[in-house]
Structure 1
């Protein structure tokens, strides 16, 4: 396992500790490149999908769908949200214990958690497709494929990659019109927010992924993109990984004007952050610019990623949203 994957595992392990407070993070690191469908997206959305359909997923796996999958297992909360947004709730036969949005997702059979996937149960459910986050475990992938189950793998890290993924899933499932509607709404909302923030003076921002050790949202993370689009200047943008450990001394030296964290546990609440040794000299703390953000929105690269952008923008530039 290379260093980047080790960093990814450490961050995901830390995030898993937040289960008690419903912090279901999908943030991770991969040099992702979610491809646009080969056809023009607008043309695809207005015509019926022709099967058999060949798809190459983000990790180079080529699959041929003879027809739209009727039974789907989702192994990530963000992917589950994508499927529901396309009206595929009835097609979902299995989800993870983290899949809690929309409310109907909680009624689906749970076939996995952060630590373990019940591969035997997945095979018993006979899904046409398993939709997983990241490349997955090679042995599990092989077992599923040997059982005749198609496995597609994606790990979007930007708004555009999420949009492209939704369009791709729309093609696979013959829900292109629904995908066009969902993505148009996302694009319109993104453009509206960016229009408000594009000419504002940049504000120095720090986003805390974890507190012990202090871990930041660095370059390549989707939170880094959200901060930038929201008119912020991420003080960890020059780190050597998407989720780097960040020295408290460096934090104090770079002096963020806005401090962001997920509202997932008491140790990371604004009140607790204020009490940390040395933090009293940071401008964000002195000016009470510490904001706790809804964890399931800001941690999932799915249809609500534009809502995450809005939350970040309102925290950084509240004057623009009065």
Structure 2
């Protein structure tokens, strides 16, 4: 058996989902048939094992692979998912920005998304590295070195729930993943009763310190915008290009949102009064300012993971003064 055939065989020893199409089944038949021919010198026991593999695949079953025991997370939301699935003991490495739960910060650091320490990653001997699409170059490099990798998405609510499901499948914690997904879905049900008119709001994910410049807002395709709508709001910048983009002060004044929601690092929370004061010069032009509807929340709202319910309730809190009018 050559190396390429061995890689193919191991690949299909991983769990296979039910519902293969006819072309997929045909392809697997051809591959296993070819593999059988190439290993004709193997003893009968091994030949029977290959036949059993084909049968398992065709009926939609799986051959259980050993669950990964040394996992590296390349993003905070992934780390939070792994901890929520109660497999933190299997996490051997995280990024510098993985600080929640607090025990995550005690794990070995592999740097950050843009400056990963590849030597440290190899030193930790991972049997699974999980990252976001932004980590694709690194993940490709690791995969070429024989390290199993998994890429998950995190832009929308559907992405987040799918990430939990995929990580659960990959780590043999599907039951916990399903329970976590069900819990999240239950706690982010659309608010009832909803306002007769959606409340216009903007979500600022960052701006220049002490200035109303370099203002970046969440667009309509983000999980933040989806949660805002569920809470009875309407994203004033739902139409911007991409997921997050810069908004000029002129555009903000023109759209004049009823509520302003600003996300800042937790370390800056004592400066909330100062952050709100930055908006005071615009009181005559922005209705949210004189009505005290500028809300400051920690940047945990930017982590698209198991804390979706907390994020949702923070948005409900911001909209409540207007909803209750």
Query: How do 1:50-129 residues align onto structure 2 when only pairs under 5 Å count?
Result: 66-129=65-128
Matched ranges for 1:167-316 at <5 A:
167-191=165-189, 194-211=190-207, 212-264=213-265, 265=268, 269=272, 271-276=274-279, 278-281=281-284, 282-296=286-300, 298-316=301-319
SS in 2 for 1:168: helix
| 5+ long unaligned stretches in structure 2 | 1-15, 20-52, 58-62, 208-212
SS in 2 for 1:196: coil
User: Partner of 1:112: helix, strand, or coil?
Assistant: coil
- Please name the residue that 1:20 is paired with: none
RMSD of Structure 2 on Structure 1 (CA): 2.8
State the structure with more CA Rg: 2
CA distance in 2 between partners of 1:84 and 1:119 (Å): 23
Alignment check: 8 A CA contact 1:156 1:162 kept = yes
Q: Which residue of structure 1 aligns with residue 157 of structure 2?
A: 159
Once the two structures are superposed, what CA deviation does each residue of 1:276-311 show, in whole Å capped at 9, x if it has no partner?
Answer: 475212111010001111212x01010002210111
- State the shift of 1:235 in Å: 0.8
In structure 2, C-alpha distance between the alignment counterparts of 1:97 and 1:237, rounded to whole Å: 31
Distance in 1 separating the partners of 2:262 and 2:91: 32
Give TM-score scaled by structure 2 length: 0.73
C-alpha deviation, 1:237, in angstroms: 0.8
Report the Cα offset of residue 274 of structure 1.
3.6
Q: CA deviation at 1:135?
A: 4.1
CA distance in 1, matches of 2:270, 2:136: 32
Q: Distance in 2 between matches of 1:108 and 1:77?
A: 12
Q: TM-score, normalised by structure 1?
A: 0.74
For residues 170-198 of structure 1, the C-alpha deviation after alignment (integer angstroms, 9 at most, x for no partner) is 1111111111221111111112xx14254
Aligned residues: 262
For structure 1, the residue ranges without an aligned partner over 5 or more in a row are 1-36, 41-50, 55-63
Relative to structure 1, the CA distance from residue 316 to residue 268 in structure 2 (aligned partners, 3 Å threshold; closer, same or farther) is farther
- Structure number with greater CO (CA < 8 Å, separation at least 6) is 1
Aligned 8 A contact 1:71 1:126 in 2: yes
Cα offset, 1:207, TM superposition: 1.1
